[in-house]
A and B are shown apart, each in its own frame.
Chain A
Amino acid sequence: MDSVSNQQFPPATGALCEAKRISHEFALPSGNPVKVLEDVSLEIHPNEVIALLGPSGCGKSTLMRALAGLIRPTSGEVLYHGLPLRGLNPGVAIVFQNFALYPWMDVVENVQSVLKAIGLPDDQVRSRSESAIRTVGLSGFEEAYPRELSGGMKQRVGIARALSVDPEILFMDEPFSQVDALTAESLRSEVIDIWAIKERNLASILMVSHDIKEVVYMADRIVVMGAGPGRVRAIMPNPLPRPRDYSAAHFLRMVDHLHEIITGHEMPDLPELPGEEPPASEIIPDAETSEIIGLLEYLDGRAGRQDVFRIAADTNKEFGRMINVVKAAEILDFIDTPGRDAVITATGRRFIRETAEGRKPIWREQLLKLWLFRDVYEVLDRQERKAIGSDIIKEMIVFQMPAENFDRVFDTFVRWARFGNLFAYNEDTEEMSLQ
């Protein structure tokens, strides 16, 4: 179908929409910038479903927002139909993670508001909203308010709203993460059906997800992103024929393959080079001590070795989160990660078989092998008062891990240190002191 957008913009020969070497930084309240995207390039082709996959904090939502024109990247540019984008992307509608429905409007009003906003005459507002609502199977719910609907229903309204403006590209930001698993499954196939019918302007879908099975089910191309700062690790085509079957062998192989790519990136097996300087500093991942211990208990109970994704599935954890825990255990030298597996080390085994009290000295010992903890310890030891302010430590974090959010690292630092009885932290005076 023809639309004004296609007259305004030259017809798409290559990409509908394209990110060209974009980077993006946020300023923290403290003024320090945090890099969330670095040198990311991506093309959205006509007639494809493309998925951004990655752990939380890899900048996939930021990339999507930049493509939608909601934010302007710090550097690089976004093209729409080959022309640089200024302001909002005219061909895009978004389905939001938390639905973003206006609670004071009923279903029809929510859909109609966006049609009124683009200035359609009344009769078209009515007919279009009606057809969008019918498409997502919400007929009969027109006068229900969002609070009366389940998560899945709400997201149907969100989809109807986005479809009603007849976008060329539909953006979906983790659309099914707030929806229960069964409903999500049916919604996925419905979205694919709507997209496949091609009776609308809709050419392509860009979705953001952290669920590997979801992207393998839906996407034609899968963009694997990595964190700190966010970048594209790999782009994997997914040629599986539709309709796809979650339990088909090809499907599972694809899922497996993605696992491999992600683990390969997130837990690289770098050979240790003798004689070379050790890396400047370890990144302290966002993991709770209880999660690390839980991981070790899990491994200890399973002959000390398990596939990381199997662990994530067994423990019902999002894999991005699981990878953080694995990395944390690894820098503490409790586990090794050959390939996709996590293997408990001798230290890890000794640690986990101790009593709660007996674990503390081992934990302490391992902490002091980390740069940050050792540095803080030395500074404290030299101090007469044996206490320093949190800002000094935060400065050290910024210095050692410039790409990390130092407040987040500091919180983890405090928790780990407290667990090992290494340092004490007084929240009122914001002072760290030796135990």
Chain B
Amino acid sequence: MDASTSVVNTIFQKAWGETSAFIGRSRKTGGVDLLILLGMIGLFFGLLELRGEWTGSLRPTVTIDLSPWALPRYAFFSLSRGLLAYLFSLAFTLVYGYWAAKNRTAERILVPLLDILQSVPVLGFMPGLVLGLVALFPNSNVGLELAAVVMIFTGQAWNMTFSFYYSLRSVPKELQDAGVVFRFNWWQRFKWVELPSATMGLVWNSMMSMAGGWFFLMISEAFVLGEKDFRLPGVGSYMSVAVARGDVPAMLWAILAMVVMIVILDQFLWRPVVVWAQKFRIEEDGQQQVMTSWFLDLLRYSTFARWIKRRSQASKSRPAVVAPKVAIRHETPGPVGSLGRIIPVIALGALTIVLAYGAWRLLGLVRFVSFAQWAGIVGAAFTTLARVLTAVALGTLWALPAGLAIGLSPRLSRTLQPVVQVAASFPAPMLFPMVIAVMAWAGIPLGWGSIVLMLLGTQWYILFNVIAGAMAIPSDLKEAARTYQIRGWQRFKILYVPSVFPYLVTGWVTAAGGAWNASIVSEYVMYKGQMMAAWGLGAEISKVAAAAEFPLLAASVMVMAVMVVLFNRMVWRRFYRMAADRYSLSR
């Protein structure tokens, strides 16, 4: 997905071509700076508005105005929640990933814990967060807002953390050694060696994770907990209300707002960041297509940016005074300060205590769950497992050929890949009402229909992994197949499927994980103002969360986490190993 220029980008590039050429000519007038100034003023007023929302008194259920003119304000709220959640995710990632990668003992607890956290659906976190945070700020909206932000965070953080942890573990050996030999302290090692080498992975995963955060936006902004109905102003709740009222134009407006939001994020945030992050590539071959960002170019034109650059350069190359010979202080690195040694131990101890306490409380909760209820939950879990696997299989059925077609044709991949990227960032649950309406009309029961809903959210992972795999097939293999006239089905079987297999496995794992999480919204849906449920663990979780039956909720979430983790260990890991042993093209 990285090698191409986005369509949207191209359009902007064209539209802006003239403008930026003009701006380029009239740099002295400071046109760009004017734009930046305007942007900043807009941001300032936006933040004022936001402040009002956050510090206002507690309003659990705001009335959502379904007029399209209210949407920009709602979109701004949702966007700021998503960005704030992202900041939390980033901070969490840096601390947690660093800790797991650097401390062998902590690693043994933190990595499996992350695996479990990743498999807990957002509703598993919801009651604790909402009740806890609202109790913490009883008189203002902060608690509720924070709860929504943290719910979005749970859709973003884990993926990023895994990526960061793996990057830290795979910093090239010599780069690490050089850091040691030249006596970088831990902070210098972090900012000069470890963080930079993890940056590329972190940036790509940030984009993916942001999309993951939007997935549950409707739930994060509008949810029912027991008797209470919580609703925060935002695109997600706008959509929820529109669906509840069956207001189709409002639904369409919400979808449009969401698309605009995603495109804006892509153009103004991610693309500039990705282009900037190119300098942190470790592989030194220059074969990658250079990516561009009109927005970053624009920024670079600005007086403001040039002023910053001048300042940083001034410090770099001031005329040198003739070197006075001064002794270097050679210090034998003594034992690490006692404080430096104690902190990790304390942190690890605290973590263990918190985990033990949490487990104990959890056991206290699920004590009340009867055997029959457990049996029901496990049965529901297997039903959902069947749906998840069917969804993955169906997704593969269309995404494998489609992905191959796109990835093998440079023209198609150039034009379609960015579209796929934006489509994948779009939170599928917002499309559910339309799909359900179609299925209701066709008479498909939700038991089967929910598979389609899962598919809607998770097929993209398979698709763009296959695209990436197809683009990576070495040309000599393709040429060999052409020379020996291996065609059609044979070529598919001999060349294409084996070479994309490792990518396909990654796609499957991500898609299955996504499908499990999506089950809570696809087995339990609102249609024409009524809730419909299919038998399954996702529906179970949604139901008991809405009814605030915490013992059952805890039990169902536990079962889901166990199912997902076990399935990862027993099935997906095997596929991974097979892919690495047999189908890896890099060996």
Residues of A whose CB lies within 8 Å of any CB of B are 1-5, 8, 68, 70, 86-88, 90-94, 96-100, 102-105, 108-109, 113-114, 116-120, 122-124, 126-128, 130-131, 142, 145-147, 161, 165-166, 427
Contacts and interface: CB of A to CB of B under 8 A. Distances in A.
Contacts of A1: 325, 327
Contact of A113 (B177, B182, B321, B330): B182
A147 B284 contact: yes
B279 interface: yes
Interface string B312-339: 0001111011111111111111100000
B181 A145 contact: no
Contact of B181 (A93, A97, A122, A147): A93
Contacts of A131: 320, 323
Given A127-B324, A130-B323, A103 B281 contact: yes
Contacts of B279: 103-104, 145
Given A94-B181, A108-B316, A103 B284 contact: yes
A87 B331 CA distance: 10
B328 A117 contact: no
B328 A165 contact: yes
A109 to B, nearest CB: 8
B353 interface: no
A100 B333 contact: no
A93 B177 CA distance: 11
Nearest to B325: A1
Contacts of B334: 87
Contact of B327 (A2, A100, A126): A2
Nearest to A147: B284
Nearest to A92: B181
A8 B330 contact: yes
Contacts of B192: 102, 105, 113
A427 B581 contact: yes
A93 B182 contact: yes
Contacts of B18: none
B457 to A, nearest CB: 35
Which of A4, A122, A146 neighbours the largest number of chain B CB atoms within 10 Å of its CB?
A: A4
Contacts of A119: 329
B286 A70 contact: no
Contact of A123 (B185, B281, B321, B329): B321
A91 B330 contact: yes
A70 B317 contact: no
16 contacts: A87-B333, A87-B334, A88-B181, A91-B330, A92-B181, A93-B182, A96-B178, A100-B178, A103-B282, A104-B196, A113-B184, A117-B183, A117-B185, A127-B323, A165-B328, A427-B581
Interface of B: 172, 174-175, 177-178, 180-185, 188, 192-193, 196, 199, 279-282, 284, 286, 315-318, 320-334, 581-582
A113 B185 CA distance: 11
A98 B284 CA distance: 12
Contacts of B182: 93, 113-114, 117-118, 161, 165
Given A88-B333, A102-B196, A70 B180 contact: yes
B283 to A, nearest CB: 9
Given A94-B177, A104-B280, A128 B323 contact: yes
A166 B328 contact: yes
Contact of A90 (B174, B177, B184, B332): B332
Given A5-B330, A87-B332, A146-B284, A100 B317 contact: no
A273 to B, nearest CB: 45
B180 A90 contact: no
B174 A100 contact: yes
Nearest to A171: B181
Contacts of A122: 315
Given A102-B192, A130-B323, A4 B282 contact: no
B330 A4 contact: yes
Contact of B180 (A88, A123, A130): A88
A204 to B, nearest CB: 16
Nearest to B331: A90
B317 A4 contact: no
